[in-house]
Amino acid sequence: MKWRINFDIRDVNFNMLGYYPQGIFAHIPKKNGKQLFTVWYQDYRNDRDTAYVPVEVIETTVKWIAEKIITEPQWAEELHARTEKLNWDYFNYAQSLVGKDFGALNNAELFDYYKTLLWLTEQGHLPSIATTWFVDSDGMIFSEYLKQKLGEHLKSLGIDDPVKTIEYFVLLTTPAKQNFVQLEQLDFLELLKAVVIPAKAGIQYKELITKHWQKWRWTPYGYIGPAYDLKYYEEQVKEALPRVTDPDQMLKEEKERYEKLIAEQNKVISEINLPPQLARLFAIAREIIWLKDLRKYCIWHGHYVLDMLTKEIAKRLNISHKQANHFLTDEMENALLRDKLDIDLINERIKHCVIEATESGTKYYYGKEADAIIAGLDIEEIKLNVEDGFKGATAYPGFVSGKVKVVLSLTDADKVEKGDIMLALTTYPAMLPAMKRASAIVTEDGGITCHAAIVAREFKIPCVVGVKKITSVLKDGDMVKVDATSGVVRKI
């Protein structure tokens, strides 16, 4: 049986895993009463999580999820409405813990907060896992279906222009709802408005920047941090102030941006007479992209807060913070409430843990047994034919040439300079400053719903996603031409 890598995430800890591999089975819809997604492995080592799924399993599951969205759009719409509420519940609960004196709590109270936060993490992240992750994680079937149907409709109108099709596709899949990036940007513009006069007068404005930092420092946290320090926002303000001539106008334009986007989308839908059923599916696609972004930011905010709890737990158990982030919930309960702690097991888990999950349960393997399981998987080989360039999917169109910078982890992001072509396995908020400096973004993971695609749309950066193996073939300094409109990257 051939196996395929479904995702490969770096800079994570065990709080990202725990019981989630088995929990997803309750949220992948069954077909005629049968669960198509039957088994998967997660290989956790060195703060890296790689998921393996049988090729036939992932292909049939993804095809079925796309089919269900297309034939039962109401199912997806209702699911997404529930998911949004669950994530705001999760975010608000986590936010209520910020500033709490965990040191004043007894062990039972501390565990209750820990357990509740992890439970809400699962409740926010898993229910829409089928639509916000799996459906576009293998072959981008739903995205390609929309692109195909849009192209067919345009051809029926006499519009047979691939570039125009891509432009319409990008516009119709761009979310028109505020996300955390825009909310922070609006607050930042309000900050600039508040400090621009004091700054000109030489008045100290650090207190205003500190308040902004306290509210938004968590945004790049990911799963293991770090958060922004105060200096980051001080430098951002210092850099932005000379360009501020009319802060009210800047705020007005930012607030109206989504209103203009909605108007533009409605105009195109009317002009091309987009069939109602297809328009509905594009609306679902926009919701998927927006929800994926919301879920990610909520889970990163949740991990930022969870680390406050686990730091206190580490002190009480006389272990390292890293060790405290590698417990299962029942193990944490035993450690805090019953003084039972198997530190050797925790250390083994940090080194290497393989999780085998099926609908009926979860098994955890360590050490040589874990090594043997992964070594025994017959993992498919991805064959590359790069004579015509590396091929992926368009996230945002454009044509750019430049120097490659390969970003495999957060530590690599600093080497991206203005105008570079950023190549990454995947991206996340902590990489946002580097992504803004790049003239184009290319990722191995993801479809139009991935983080890189969302950022590319937000900041209008040419972007190609789903370009397999490109980071293992190209290296820093290589010159490439990115045709993001066609989804092709060529070495010059």
Q: What does the pLDDT look like over 160-189, one tens digit per residue?
A: 998 899 999 999 999 999 999 899 999 999
Helical ranges in 126-229 per DSSP H: 129-132, 141-156, 162-172, 180-201, 206-216
Query: What is the pLDDT at residue 430?
Result: 78
Q: Which of 269, 302, 341 is nearest to 121 (CA)?
A: 302
Q: How confident is the model at residue 245 (pLDDT cuts 50, 70, 90)?
A: confident
Q: What percent of the chain has pLDDT over 90?
A: 80
Three-state secondary structure of 254-290: HHHHHHHHHHHHHHHHHHCCCCHHHHHHHHHHHHHHH
Give the burial class of 303: count Cβ atoms within 10 A of its Cβ; 0-12 exposed, 13-18 middle, 19 or more buried: buried
Q: Average the pLDDT over 66-72 and give the result.
A: 98
Query: What is the pLDDT at residue 199?
Result: 59
Beta strands 39-45 and 440-443 are unpaired
Counting DSSP H helices and E strands in the chain, the numbers are 19, 14
Contacts of residue 309, defined as CB under 8 A and 6 or more positions apart, other chains included, come to 97, 102, 110, 113, 114, 117
Query: What is the pLDDT at residue 72?
Result: 98
Average pLDDT across the chain, whole number: 93
- ∠ at Cα 57 (52, 61), nearest 5°? 110
Query: What is the pLDDT at residue 382?
Result: 81
Q: Which two tokens stand for residue 82?
A: 């529930």
Query: What is the pLDDT at residue 446?
Result: 72
* Number of C-beta neighbours around residue 30 at 10 A: 12
Q: Which two tokens stand for residue 326?
A: 């590698």
201 has pLDDT over 60: no
Q: What percent of the chain has pLDDT over 70?
A: 99
Rounded-to-integer distance, Cα 59 and Cα 37, Å: 10
Q: What does the pLDDT look like over 106-147, one tens digit per residue?
A: 999 999 999 999 999 999 999 999 999 999 888 889 999 999
Beta strands 39-45 and 48-54 are antiparallel
Q: What does the pLDDT look like over 249-280, one tens digit per residue?
A: 999 999 998 899 999 999 999 999 999 999 99
Question: Which one of 137-146, 311-320, 406-415 scores highest in mean pLDDT?
Answer: 311-320
Query: What is the pLDDT at residue 188?
Result: 95
- Say what the pTM is: 0.91
| Angle subtended by helix axes 107-125 and 73-97, to nearest 10 | 150
Helical ranges in 361-431 per DSSP H: 367-375
Rounded-to-integer distance, Cα 100 and Cα 308, Å: 9
Q: Average the pLDDT over 415-421 and give the result.
A: 96
Query: What is the pLDDT at residue 200?
Result: 58
Q: What are phi and psi of 289, to 5 degrees?
A: -65, -45
Displacement of CA 238 from its chain's centroid (Å): 29
Q: Average the pLDDT over 331-348 and give the result.
A: 97
Kindly state which CATH superfamily the domain 390-491 is placed in. Phosphohistidine domain (3.50.30.10)
Q: Average the pLDDT over 316-345 and give the result.
A: 97
Query: What is the pLDDT at residue 145?
Result: 95
Rounded-to-integer distance, Cα 19 and Cα 3, Å: 22
Peptide bond into 226 cis (omega under 30): yes
N-term to C-term CA, the chain: 39
Give the burial class of 383: count Cβ atoms within 10 A of its Cβ; 0-12 exposed, 13-18 middle, 19 or more buried: exposed
Q: Which of 154, 176, 147, 178 is nearest to 264 (CA)?
A: 176
Torsion of CA 423, 58, 52, 408, to 10 degrees: 10
Q: Which of 441, 442, 491, 490 is nearest to 466 (CA)?
A: 442
Parse the chain into domains and list their residue ranges.
2-137+292-379, 180-258, 390-491
341 has pLDDT over 80: yes
Q: What does the pLDDT look like over 343-392, one tens digit per residue?
A: 999 999 999 999 999 999 999 999 999 999 999 999 998 877 777 799 99
Q: What does the pLDDT look like over 447-473, one tens digit per residue?
A: 777 889 888 988 999 999 989 889 989
